C-alpha cells in the first residue's frame, strides 16, 4: 500500500526533543518527503502537536518508531492518505 500522507497527534516533553531534532528524525524515515509540525498547546511539562508527513510509500511503522525514539509519544494517527495521489478533504454539511 502506497502511504502518501500521515497526520498524527504527538506529545513531547517541553525540553527534549526540540522541534528540529524531531523533524530531522521524521525526515530520515524511508518515503518521507515533507514534514510539518504544528504546536497546539504547551503546558508546564508537555507540548501537544500535530505532525503531518507526506511522501511516497511512507513506512508508517518506522515513522512511529522514529518519533518514539526521540522521546515523543504518538497518541493517535488521525489521517492516512494512500494511493497514487492525495485527495484533499472536503467538509460536508450535515
CATH number, domain at 64?
3.30.70.1340
- Render 30-54 in DSSP notation, one character per residue: TTEEEEEEEEEEE-SSEEEEEEEEE
How many angstroms separate the CA atoms of 65 and 61, rounded? 6
Q: Residue with C-alpha cell 509519544?
A: 73
Asked whether 24 and 37 are in contact (CB, 8 A), the reply is no
Assess if residue 54 is contained within a domain: yes
Q: 24: helix, coil or strand?
A: helix
**Inter-residue contact 46 to 11 (CB < 8 Å):** yes
pLDDT band at 94, cuts 50/70/90?
confident
Name the domain count of the chain. 1
31 within 8 A of 64, measured Cβ to Cβ? no
In a domain, residue 88? The reply is no
Tell me whether residue 38 is in a domain. Answer: yes
Which pLDDT score is estimated for 69? Answer: 97
87 within some domain:
no
Q: Is the pLDDT of residue 89 over 80?
A: no
Is residue 63 assigned to a domain?
Answer: yes
The reported pTM is 0.89
Q: Which domain holds residue 64?
A: 3-82
53 lies in some domain: yes
Amino acid at each position: 500500500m502506497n502511504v502518501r500522507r500521515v497526520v498524527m497527534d504527538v506529545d513531547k516533553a517541553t525540553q527534549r526533543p526540540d522541534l528540529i531534532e524531531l523533524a530531522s528524525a521524521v525526515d530520515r524515515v524511508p518515503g518521507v518527503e515533507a514534514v510539518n509540525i504544528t504546536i497546539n498547546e504547551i503546558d508546564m511539562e508537555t507540548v501537544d502537536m500535530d505532525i503531518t508527513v507526506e511522501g511516497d510509500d511512507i513506512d508508517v511503522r518506522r515513522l512511529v518508531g522514529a518519533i518514539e525514539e526521540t522521546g515523543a509519544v504518538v497518541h493517535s494517527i488521525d489521517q492516512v492518505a494512500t494511493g497514487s495521489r492525495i485527495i484533499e478533504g472536503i467538509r460536508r454539511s450535515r
